[in-house]
Structure 1
Protein backbone atom coordinates (compact mmCIF):
# COMPACT_ATOMS: atom_id res chain seq x y z
CA UNK A 1 0.00 0.00 0.00
CA UNK A 2 1.08 3.57 -0.54
CA UNK A 3 1.82 6.06 2.24
CA UNK A 4 -1.49 7.89 1.79
CA UNK A 5 -3.45 4.66 2.27
CA UNK A 6 -1.45 3.80 5.38
CA UNK A 7 -2.09 7.29 6.76
CA UNK A 8 -5.85 7.13 6.19
CA UNK A 9 -5.82 3.62 7.70
CA UNK A 10 -4.13 5.00 10.82
CA UNK A 11 -6.63 7.86 11.00
CA UNK A 12 -9.67 5.59 10.54
CA UNK A 13 -8.52 3.01 13.08
CA UNK A 14 -7.55 5.53 15.78
CA UNK A 15 -10.75 7.55 15.33
CA UNK A 16 -12.78 4.35 15.67
CA UNK A 17 -10.84 3.43 18.81
CA UNK A 18 -11.24 6.94 20.24
CA UNK A 19 -14.99 6.71 19.62
CA UNK A 20 -15.25 3.59 21.79
CA UNK A 21 -12.76 4.67 24.46
CA UNK A 22 -12.21 7.73 26.60
CA UNK A 23 -8.84 8.54 25.08
CA UNK A 24 -8.09 11.93 23.53
CA UNK A 25 -8.90 11.68 19.79
CA UNK A 26 -6.44 14.39 18.75
CA UNK A 27 -3.46 12.63 20.35
CA UNK A 28 -4.75 9.25 19.16
CA UNK A 29 -4.95 10.40 15.55
CA UNK A 30 -1.57 12.15 15.63
CA UNK A 31 0.22 9.12 17.03
CA UNK A 32 -1.84 6.81 14.82
CA UNK A 33 -0.58 8.59 11.72
CA UNK A 34 3.02 8.24 12.90
CA UNK A 35 2.42 4.57 13.79
CA UNK A 36 0.89 3.91 10.39
CA UNK A 37 4.17 4.95 8.77
CA UNK A 38 6.71 3.42 11.19
CA UNK A 39 6.79 -0.16 9.80
CA UNK A 40 8.03 1.10 6.44
CA UNK A 41 11.23 2.46 8.00
CA UNK A 42 12.78 -0.59 6.30
CA UNK A 43 12.08 0.88 2.83
CA UNK A 44 14.23 3.79 1.65
CA UNK A 45 11.52 5.12 -0.67
CA UNK A 46 8.86 5.35 2.05
CA UNK A 47 7.97 8.50 3.98
CA UNK A 48 9.82 7.17 7.05
CA UNK A 49 12.71 5.92 4.94
CA UNK A 50 13.14 9.37 3.44
CA UNK A 51 12.86 11.04 6.86
CA UNK A 52 15.49 8.73 8.41
CA UNK A 53 17.61 7.54 5.45
CA UNK A 54 20.59 6.18 7.41
CA UNK A 55 18.42 4.22 9.86
CA UNK A 56 16.29 2.98 6.97
CA UNK A 57 19.32 1.71 5.07
CA UNK A 58 20.72 -0.07 8.16
CA UNK A 59 17.37 -1.76 8.92
CA UNK A 60 16.95 -2.78 5.28
CA UNK A 61 20.46 -4.22 5.09
CA UNK A 62 19.93 -6.27 8.25
CA UNK A 63 16.33 -7.40 7.81
CA UNK A 64 15.08 -6.51 4.32
CA UNK A 65 11.61 -5.15 3.54
CA UNK A 66 8.39 -6.32 5.21
CA UNK A 67 10.08 -8.65 7.67
CA UNK A 68 11.12 -7.54 11.17
CA UNK A 69 9.37 -4.14 11.11
CA UNK A 70 6.18 -5.82 9.89
CA UNK A 71 6.10 -8.45 12.62
CA UNK A 72 4.44 -9.16 15.94
CA UNK A 73 7.92 -9.16 17.49
CA UNK A 74 8.43 -5.53 16.39
CA UNK A 75 5.06 -4.56 17.92
CA UNK A 76 6.03 -6.18 21.23
CA UNK A 77 9.42 -4.43 21.27
CA UNK A 78 7.86 -1.03 20.50
CA UNK A 79 5.24 -1.60 23.21
CA UNK A 80 7.96 -2.53 25.71
CA UNK A 81 10.06 0.53 24.83
CA UNK A 82 7.03 2.83 25.06
CA UNK A 83 6.23 1.45 28.53
CA UNK A 84 9.78 2.08 29.71
CA UNK A 85 10.51 5.47 28.19
CA UNK A 86 7.20 7.15 27.38
CA UNK A 87 4.54 6.35 29.99
CA UNK A 88 1.54 7.98 28.26
CA UNK A 89 -1.06 5.33 27.43
CA UNK A 90 -2.83 7.40 24.77
CA UNK A 91 0.43 7.89 22.83
CA UNK A 92 1.38 4.21 23.08
CA UNK A 93 -2.13 3.08 22.12
CA UNK A 94 -2.35 5.42 19.13
CA UNK A 95 1.10 4.42 17.89
CA UNK A 96 0.36 0.69 18.16
CA UNK A 97 -3.08 0.99 16.54
CA UNK A 98 -1.49 2.86 13.63
CA UNK A 99 1.18 0.18 13.31
CA UNK A 100 -1.39 -2.64 13.40
CA UNK A 101 -3.44 -0.87 10.70
CA UNK A 102 -0.27 -0.75 8.57
CA UNK A 103 0.30 -4.49 8.99
CA UNK A 104 -3.30 -5.31 8.13
CA UNK A 105 -3.19 -3.17 5.00
CA UNK A 106 0.10 -4.75 3.87
CA UNK A 107 -1.40 -8.23 4.38
CA UNK A 108 -3.84 -7.23 1.64
CA UNK A 109 -0.98 -6.95 -0.88
CA UNK A 110 0.30 -9.77 -3.05
CA UNK A 111 3.71 -9.89 -1.34
CA UNK A 112 2.23 -10.02 2.20
CA UNK A 113 4.32 -9.59 5.36
CA UNK A 114 6.55 -11.72 7.55
CA UNK A 115 4.20 -11.42 10.56
CA UNK A 116 5.90 -14.14 12.60
CA UNK A 117 9.49 -12.97 12.05
CA UNK A 118 12.06 -14.58 12.39
CA UNK A 119 10.08 -17.47 10.90
CA UNK A 120 10.36 -17.13 7.13
CA UNK A 121 6.66 -17.33 6.37
CA UNK A 122 4.62 -14.66 4.56
CA UNK A 123 1.11 -13.81 5.72
CA UNK A 124 -1.42 -12.32 3.34
CA UNK A 125 -5.15 -12.32 2.85
CA UNK A 126 -6.71 -14.77 0.37
CA UNK A 127 -7.76 -11.84 -1.82
CA UNK A 128 -4.97 -9.35 -2.45
CA UNK A 129 -4.26 -6.26 -4.48
CA UNK A 130 -1.26 -4.48 -5.95
CA UNK A 131 0.19 -1.33 -4.42
CA UNK A 132 -1.13 1.73 -6.27
CA UNK A 133 -3.93 -0.20 -8.04
CA UNK A 134 -7.56 0.80 -8.54
CA UNK A 135 -8.47 -1.56 -5.68
CA UNK A 136 -6.13 0.33 -3.36
CA UNK A 137 -7.93 3.54 -4.35
CA UNK A 138 -11.23 1.89 -3.43
CA UNK A 139 -9.77 0.81 -0.07
CA UNK A 140 -8.50 4.36 0.46
CA UNK A 141 -11.97 5.76 -0.28
CA UNK A 142 -13.62 3.32 2.11
CA UNK A 143 -11.17 4.23 4.87
CA UNK A 144 -11.81 7.93 4.20
CA UNK A 145 -15.55 7.32 4.68
CA UNK A 146 -14.86 5.46 7.94
CA UNK A 147 -12.66 8.38 9.05
CA UNK A 148 -15.41 10.91 8.30
CA UNK A 149 -17.99 8.82 10.13
CA UNK A 150 -15.94 8.30 13.30
CA UNK A 151 -14.51 11.81 13.10
CA UNK A 152 -18.06 13.17 13.18
CA UNK A 153 -18.95 10.81 16.05
CA UNK A 154 -15.93 11.92 18.08
CA UNK A 155 -16.51 15.59 17.23
CA UNK A 156 -20.17 15.36 18.34
CA UNK A 157 -18.95 14.69 21.91
CA UNK A 158 -17.28 18.08 21.95
CA UNK A 159 -20.16 20.07 20.47
Structure 2
Protein backbone atom coordinates (compact mmCIF):
# COMPACT_ATOMS: atom_id res chain seq x y z
CA UNK A 1 0.00 0.00 0.00
CA UNK A 2 1.06 3.56 -0.54
CA UNK A 3 1.81 5.94 2.32
CA UNK A 4 -1.38 7.92 1.77
CA UNK A 5 -3.50 4.77 2.10
CA UNK A 6 -1.67 3.80 5.27
CA UNK A 7 -2.24 7.28 6.70
CA UNK A 8 -5.94 7.16 5.90
CA UNK A 9 -6.16 3.61 7.28
CA UNK A 10 -4.65 4.87 10.54
CA UNK A 11 -7.09 7.77 10.63
CA UNK A 12 -10.14 5.59 9.93
CA UNK A 13 -9.14 2.90 12.43
CA UNK A 14 -8.20 5.33 15.21
CA UNK A 15 -11.41 7.33 14.76
CA UNK A 16 -13.43 4.12 14.92
CA UNK A 17 -11.64 3.10 18.13
CA UNK A 18 -11.97 6.63 19.60
CA UNK A 19 -15.70 6.56 18.91
CA UNK A 20 -16.19 3.06 20.29
CA UNK A 21 -14.06 3.66 23.40
CA UNK A 22 -15.24 7.27 23.94
CA UNK A 23 -11.65 8.52 23.82
CA UNK A 24 -10.25 11.82 22.60
CA UNK A 25 -10.35 11.59 18.79
CA UNK A 26 -7.63 14.18 18.22
CA UNK A 27 -5.01 12.32 20.25
CA UNK A 28 -6.13 9.01 18.76
CA UNK A 29 -5.84 10.30 15.18
CA UNK A 30 -2.41 11.84 15.69
CA UNK A 31 -1.13 8.65 17.28
CA UNK A 32 -2.98 6.53 14.69
CA UNK A 33 -1.21 8.30 11.83
CA UNK A 34 2.18 7.84 13.50
CA UNK A 35 1.40 4.18 14.15
CA UNK A 36 0.24 3.67 10.58
CA UNK A 37 3.57 4.94 9.26
CA UNK A 38 5.89 3.34 11.83
CA UNK A 39 6.06 -0.23 10.43
CA UNK A 40 7.56 1.07 7.18
CA UNK A 41 10.64 2.40 9.00
CA UNK A 42 12.28 -0.65 7.41
CA UNK A 43 11.84 0.85 3.91
CA UNK A 44 14.05 3.83 3.05
CA UNK A 45 11.64 4.96 0.31
CA UNK A 46 8.66 5.20 2.69
CA UNK A 47 7.43 8.45 4.23
CA UNK A 48 8.96 7.61 7.62
CA UNK A 49 12.04 6.03 6.05
CA UNK A 50 12.80 9.32 4.31
CA UNK A 51 12.55 11.17 7.64
CA UNK A 52 14.93 8.75 9.38
CA UNK A 53 17.14 7.46 6.53
CA UNK A 54 20.02 6.10 8.60
CA UNK A 55 17.75 4.25 11.02
CA UNK A 56 15.69 2.96 8.10
CA UNK A 57 18.74 1.58 6.32
CA UNK A 58 20.04 -0.07 9.48
CA UNK A 59 16.69 -1.76 10.20
CA UNK A 60 16.39 -2.88 6.57
CA UNK A 61 19.94 -4.23 6.58
CA UNK A 62 19.30 -6.26 9.75
CA UNK A 63 15.73 -7.44 9.12
CA UNK A 64 14.66 -6.60 5.56
CA UNK A 65 11.28 -5.20 4.57
CA UNK A 66 7.95 -6.38 6.01
CA UNK A 67 9.52 -8.70 8.57
CA UNK A 68 10.26 -7.58 12.15
CA UNK A 69 8.53 -4.18 11.91
CA UNK A 70 5.42 -5.88 10.48
CA UNK A 71 5.18 -8.53 13.20
CA UNK A 72 3.30 -9.22 16.40
CA UNK A 73 6.69 -9.16 18.14
CA UNK A 74 7.20 -5.54 17.05
CA UNK A 75 3.66 -4.68 18.17
CA UNK A 76 4.34 -6.11 21.64
CA UNK A 77 7.71 -4.34 21.83
CA UNK A 78 6.11 -1.03 20.82
CA UNK A 79 3.41 -1.51 23.47
CA UNK A 80 6.05 -2.16 26.13
CA UNK A 81 8.13 0.88 25.11
CA UNK A 82 5.10 3.17 25.04
CA UNK A 83 4.11 2.02 28.54
CA UNK A 84 7.66 2.60 29.75
CA UNK A 85 8.33 6.02 28.21
CA UNK A 86 4.90 7.53 27.41
CA UNK A 87 2.42 6.04 29.91
CA UNK A 88 -0.72 7.37 28.25
CA UNK A 89 -3.42 4.89 27.27
CA UNK A 90 -4.97 7.03 24.53
CA UNK A 91 -1.59 7.57 22.89
CA UNK A 92 -0.77 3.87 23.22
CA UNK A 93 -4.07 2.67 21.76
CA UNK A 94 -3.81 5.17 18.92
CA UNK A 95 -0.30 4.06 17.97
CA UNK A 96 -1.15 0.38 18.20
CA UNK A 97 -4.38 0.87 16.24
CA UNK A 98 -2.43 2.62 13.48
CA UNK A 99 0.13 -0.18 13.42
CA UNK A 100 -2.57 -2.85 13.20
CA UNK A 101 -4.27 -0.96 10.36
CA UNK A 102 -0.91 -0.93 8.54
CA UNK A 103 -0.52 -4.68 9.02
CA UNK A 104 -4.04 -5.37 7.72
CA UNK A 105 -3.55 -3.20 4.65
CA UNK A 106 -0.20 -4.84 3.84
CA UNK A 107 -1.74 -8.29 4.27
CA UNK A 108 -3.98 -7.33 1.35
CA UNK A 109 -0.95 -7.14 -0.96
CA UNK A 110 0.69 -10.02 -2.78
CA UNK A 111 3.91 -9.75 -0.71
CA UNK A 112 2.01 -9.98 2.57
CA UNK A 113 3.88 -9.64 5.87
CA UNK A 114 5.90 -11.80 8.26
CA UNK A 115 3.33 -11.41 11.04
CA UNK A 116 4.88 -14.18 13.16
CA UNK A 117 8.51 -13.07 12.73
CA UNK A 118 11.04 -14.63 13.36
CA UNK A 119 9.12 -17.44 11.66
CA UNK A 120 9.36 -17.09 7.88
CA UNK A 121 5.62 -17.64 7.35
CA UNK A 122 4.11 -14.99 5.07
CA UNK A 123 0.60 -13.87 6.00
CA UNK A 124 -1.67 -12.39 3.33
CA UNK A 125 -5.32 -12.46 2.43
CA UNK A 126 -6.55 -14.99 -0.16
CA UNK A 127 -7.39 -12.13 -2.54
CA UNK A 128 -4.62 -9.57 -2.90
CA UNK A 129 -4.17 -6.28 -4.70
CA UNK A 130 -1.30 -4.40 -6.31
CA UNK A 131 0.08 -1.30 -4.61
CA UNK A 132 -1.06 1.82 -6.46
CA UNK A 133 -3.79 -0.02 -8.38
CA UNK A 134 -7.38 1.09 -9.00
CA UNK A 135 -8.46 -1.29 -6.24
CA UNK A 136 -6.16 0.50 -3.80
CA UNK A 137 -7.76 3.77 -4.89
CA UNK A 138 -11.17 2.25 -4.15
CA UNK A 139 -9.94 1.17 -0.69
CA UNK A 140 -8.65 4.71 -0.17
CA UNK A 141 -12.10 6.09 -1.04
CA UNK A 142 -13.83 3.69 1.35
CA UNK A 143 -11.39 4.61 4.13
CA UNK A 144 -12.16 8.27 3.44
CA UNK A 145 -15.89 7.66 3.93
CA UNK A 146 -15.25 5.67 7.11
CA UNK A 147 -13.05 8.51 8.41
CA UNK A 148 -15.75 11.11 7.74
CA UNK A 149 -18.38 8.99 9.45
CA UNK A 150 -16.38 8.21 12.59
CA UNK A 151 -14.84 11.68 12.64
CA UNK A 152 -18.29 13.25 12.70
CA UNK A 153 -19.52 10.78 15.31
CA UNK A 154 -16.42 11.17 17.52
CA UNK A 155 -16.38 14.96 17.39
CA UNK A 156 -20.13 15.09 18.07
CA UNK A 157 -19.58 12.93 21.15
CA UNK A 158 -17.01 15.44 22.41
CA UNK A 159 -19.40 18.36 21.95
CA UNK A 160 -18.02 19.73 18.71
CA UNK A 161 -21.17 20.37 16.70
CA UNK A 162 -21.54 20.90 12.98
Task: Look up the SS of the partner of 1:16 in the other structure.
Answer: helix
Equivalences for residues 13-28 of structure 1 within 5 A: 13-28=13-28
Q: Which runs of 5+ in 1 are unaligned?
A: none
Task: Look up the SS of the partner of 1:154 in the other structure.
Answer: helix
Q: Which runs of 5+ in 2 are unaligned?
A: none
Offset at residue 152 of structure 1 (A) = 0.9
* 2:5 corresponding residue in structure 1: 5
* 1:67 corresponding residue in structure 2: 67
Say what the alpha-carbon RMSD is for the aligned residues.
0.6
Task: Look up the SS of the partner of 2:4 in the other structure.
Answer: helix
TM-score, scaled to structure 2: 0.97
Q: How many residues align?
A: 159
* 1:118 corresponding residue in structure 2: 118
* 1:131 corresponding residue in structure 2: 131
Offset at residue 136 of structure 1 (A) = 0.3
**Cα distance in 1, alignment partners of residues 44 and 3 from structure 2:** 13
TM-score, scaled to structure 1: 0.99
- Runs of 4+ in structure 1 over 6 Å off: none
**Cα distance in 1, alignment partners of residues 54 and 35 from structure 2:** 19
* 1:45 corresponding residue in structure 2: 45
